[in-house]
Structure 1
Amino acid sequence: MDTYYQGRGDITKDHRALVSGFVKATKLADSLLGIRFLGRTRPSSPAVVTPTPAASRAS
């Protein structure tokens, strides 16, 4: 599942909902695979690439 945010308002709104909700008392553990800058002539939009763990399925 990819997440696309456009602008600071989108990021702030979604993260505020997460932090005040079900991830309130959790710790974030993540790793960074890379950062790509999007754009042909003047790359100005960073795209952060992180691994996404596979969701476990109940048998």
Structure 2
Amino acid sequence: MILVAIVAELLEEYTVLLARVLEHLFHEAPFPRRIRFLILRSLPFVSSTPPLLRAPA
């Protein structure tokens, strides 16, 4: 049971990291703005984490 909890925690951290990386990639992707918005909204955990890298001003 402890092993299941450890694996679940690792998978959750991996999912958050993967969502942040995908958010960064799709933020810079050459898609129309509306499609990028729909893709970014569908990613899990994105709204609760800060952006991976800030865009240059």
TM over 0.5: no
Q: Using CA pairs below 8 Å that are at least 6 residues apart, which structure has the higher relative contact order?
A: 2
Q: State the structure with more CA Rg.
A: 1
The structure where helix makes up a greater share of residues is 2
The structure where strand makes up a greater share of residues is 1
TM-score of the superposed pair, with normalisation by structure 1: 0.25
TM-score of the superposed pair, with normalisation by structure 2: 0.26
